[in-house]
Amino acid sequence: MRLAPPEAAAPLPKGHESGPFVAPGGNTSGPAEPVPRRLLDGGVGAVGVATKLLQVSQLCASYGATKVLYDLDFSLAAGHITAILGANGAGKTTTLRAICQTVRTSGSVLFEGKQLVGQSTESVVRLGVAHVPDGRGTFTALSTEENLRLGGYTRRNRSELALDLEKAFTRFPILKQRRHQQAGTLSGGEQQMLAISRALMLRPKLLLLDEPSFGLAPLIVAEIFRIMRTINQEDGVSMLLVEQNASLALDLADHAYLLETGRVALSGPAEQIKNDESVRRAYLGY
């Protein structure tokens, strides 16, 4: 059964698609009341019969006294791509940081049944979670190849590391041409390719991607997203994708969650969300 958004969730005025969610009572500083959870067919806050790689329950996160996430519940199936959508300030980036334990969190984040909350970020990485942050996090003073080798610092098998280095150069030939070039001199698109490749040097089970299309030319974005799909299909790497370009994210993802001021407001199969005009107008602004 498809549940269309209620009349209260009217489309945002043109030009304000990224504005704050107005909570009941007109408060824009945070939700005065719990945001009702909307589910589409198959959207049950879980991933159905597929094996759950990541299970997030009642996740809260804050920066000092400022609370950003409010009892977040979502999951990700092994081998799948899940998108997290929402306006600026909805809590998308903080969700990825909470999984990596780089912000103060409470609640539960289970990765392959292991609790991540309370662990060090290094421990989370060693379990197989790689993060491509907003801003790419390139070590600008190092060469392209040195950046890639740093991505595999936790691995001990040097021969496998060398194979993965060549795989990175095969996927992104421009990086091979720039292997000895200082990373800070690369273009924005090349730095994004480097950031993704560096994360893959870990051989992660889960890849967290924060706004990989930001600031890049459309042709570069199309190529990066094509390769991300190939990585998912050929290497079986699961992905949790934060992306403000909802159309782009829904084309790539299997499942999607929409955040409003730190809460899940809508979830469902990506294909269904993409094709539901009322949902797109009410929540995604296009």
| Structure tokens given for 226 | 């094509």
* pLDDT above 70 (res 20): no
Contact partners, residue 218, CB within 8 Å, separation at least 6: none
* pLDDT above 80 (res 164): yes
Q: What is the mean pLDDT of residues 47-64?
A: 86
Length of the chain: 286
What pLDDT digit, counting tens, does each position of 81-113 carry? 999 998 889 999 999 999 999 999 999 999 999
Q: Which CATH class is domain 38-128+206-284?
A: alpha beta
Phi, psi of 259 (to 5 degrees): -100, 140
* pLDDT above 60 (res 55): yes
| Structure tokens given for 208 | 């967290």
Residue ranges covered by each domain of the chain: 38-128+206-284, 141-203
What pLDDT digit, counting tens, does each position of 132-152 carry? 998 878 899 999 999 999 998
| Structure tokens given for 194 | 């480097």
- Whole-model pTM: value is 0.81
The per-residue pLDDT for 38 is 56
Which is more confidently placed, 180 or 16? 180
What pLDDT digit, counting tens, does each position of 225-268 carry? 999 999 999 999 999 999 988 889 999 999 999 999 999 999 99
Q: For residue 182, give the DSSP letter.
A: B
- Positive or negative CA dihedral for 121, 125, 129, 134? positive
C-alpha span between 280 and 286 (Å, rounded): 6
Least confidently predicted of 5-9, 67-71, 73-77, 143-147: 5-9
CA 180 to chain centre: 30
C-alpha span between 278 and 31 (Å, rounded): 23
SS3 63: strand
Least confidently predicted of 14-18, 134-138, 142-146, 272-276: 14-18
